[in-house]
Chains A and B, each alone.
Chain A
Amino acid sequence: MNKYLERLTNGLFKENPTFVLMLGMCPTLAVTVSATNGLGMGLSTAVVLVASNVIIAALRKFIPNTVRMPYFIVVVASMVTIVQLLLQAYVPEVNESLGIYIPLIVVNCIIFGRVEAYAAKNKVGLSLFDGIGMGLGFTIALVIIGSFRELLGAGTIFNYRVMPESYEPIAMFVKPPGAFLVLAVLTALQNKFRLPSATNKKDKVSQLTCGGDCLNCNDREKAERKED
């Protein structure tokens, strides 16, 4: 049972996809204008991740290694479509406010990273818990960033007024530049306090396919090509 628990804490803290691995930056920046949006996006991604992980883990012995990528794409895209249809049916307002970022879960590198690096090599049970851990880690990160931006940009959290009436909201934080600024400060703090993060290379290279090191992605790609 311990190794299942270990998968959960791994996703939530040790290898948190947003704060530590720095994966899936596009949705992180785009949808965190409010805590509600962050929660919706995080949970949708988590459901897709858990379902894809379980299906790929169950089929891992039947998928030929050479053509695994197309298989993964089809499975993940199908899960995304199911989630999108469910959102349209039951919570249309969430679907409305997240817009094209819901179908774009397909190209979220957290999903491909986990499916490729974990689910394709491990048992169904472990993959399930890995998906839950990573999904919740992503959700919590988005809610934290979303709450922070909503608090500064609108004075509310989950639409409840937190700041006093006299507080003048800094609208920039709920606009695109605010997303970059919040992430810049976050990564600077991680550097300052030497917290583990893909951006300061203090921790070991992750087992994920791309390692989340966006900044040196190009160099690594070239190095790998030369080795081939």
Chain B
Amino acid sequence: MNSDYLVNLLIILISAAFINNVILSQFLGICPFLGISNKIKSAVGMGLAVMFVITTASILCSLVFQYILDPMNLQYLQTIVFIIVIAALVQLVEMVIKKFSPTLYDALGVYLPLITTNCAVLGVALLNVDKGFDLVESIVNGFASALGFTIAIVLMAGIRERMEHNDIPETFKGFPITLVTATLMAMAFYGFAGLV
């Protein structure tokens, strides 16, 4: 590994976590972002579960693409294969955690079924292929995207916990004010554009 490669990895890390934040600039995983961001504790739980699943899914999908689909010229099957790999992975993770660590299952278990249909997982796996990342780059991109997801959802939960005691106009209560908060966060994250 030469230093150019490491710099390249660092650029992937920063652009995936901040500049192209999965939620605030690519709109992947909006449902959990709006749904599980009312308490910091559950936001952290969801973030950790997503980090684990996205990183693992990036590794598996990258391996499947590079060693099975690409050599056999079956690239067009990637959507079908990836979604099956992700669904199986989430099932497996749920079973393993349930069996070996009930405490961890209590903390993360509720979020796992929600993750299969979280478009961030499939989206990141597809982006890895789209951008022609190799295995290490895919892992870094997957981890960084999930980190970006966690940052966004935890920040949102922190703001919403404080907002509970604020006097919000009746019309804006609930969904609208959450989206206005997301607007302001997206504007702030837009400032990272041009960083790399």
Min CB–CB distance A217 → chain B (angstroms): 4
Binds A, one of B3-11, B20-28, B61-69: B20-28
Q: Residues of B contacting A181 with CB < 8 Å?
A: 179-180, 183
Q: Does B174 contact A (CB under 8 A)?
A: yes
Which of A84, A85, A106 is B83 in contact with, Cβ under 8 Å?
Answer: A106
Q: Chain A interface secondary structure, helix, strand, loop or mixed?
A: helix
**A74 contacts which chain B residues (CB < 8 A)?**
80, 84
Interface pair B119/A191, CB less than 8 Å apart? no
State the Cβ distance, B35 to closest chain A Cβ, in Å.
4
**Residues in B neighbouring A87, C-beta threshold 8 A:** none
Closest residue of B by beta carbon distance from A80:
B79
B56 to chain A, nearest CB (A): 17
**A164 interface hit (Cβ, 8 Å):** no
With A106-B122, A216-B35 in contact, is A191–B173 under 8 Å at CB? yes
A-contacting 9-mer, from B47-55, B123-131, B137-145: B123-131
Q: Are A222 and B110 in contact (CB under 8 A)?
A: yes
Q: Is the CB of B190 within 8 A of A176?
A: yes
- Which bracket fits the contact residues of A? 35 or more
Instruction: Evaluate contact between B30 and A215: CB separation under 8 angstroms.
Output: no
Count B interface residues, CB 8 Å: 50
Contact A107 B34 (CB under 8 A): no
Enumerate chain A residues within 8 angstroms of B34, measured Cβ to Cβ: 25, 214-215
B117 adjacent to A184 (CB under 8 Å): no
Instruction: Verify A176–B186 contact, CB threshold 8 A.
Output: yes
Q: Would B122 and A26 count as touching, CB distance under 8 A?
A: no
Decide: B79 and A191 in contact? CB cutoff 8 A: no
Whether B174 contacts A184 by the Cβ 8 Å rule is no
In the complex, the answer to whether A104 meets B80 with C-beta atoms within 8 Å is no
Cβ–Cβ contact A187 & B179, under 8 A? yes
A183 partner, pick from B84, B119, B179, B184, beta carbons under 8 A: B179
11 A/B residue pairs, CB under 8 Å, sorted by A: A26-B29, A104-B122, A180-B183, A184-B176, A184-B177, A187-B179, A191-B172, A191-B176, A216-B35, A217-B36, A218-B110
| A interface with B by C-beta (< 8 Å) | 22, 25-27, 29-30, 69-70, 73-74, 77-78, 80-81, 84-85, 99-100, 103-104, 106-109, 112, 172, 175-181, 183-185, 187-188, 191-192, 199-200, 214-218, 221-222, 225
Closest 3 CB pairs of A and B: A184-B179, A217-B35, A199-B175
- Give 16 new A-B contacts, CB below 8 A, not counting A25-B34, A104-B126, A107-B118: A25-B31, A30-B27, A74-B80, A176-B190, A180-B186, A184-B176, A184-B183, A188-B176, A191-B171, A200-B175, A214-B34, A215-B174, A216-B35, A217-B31, A218-B35, A218-B42
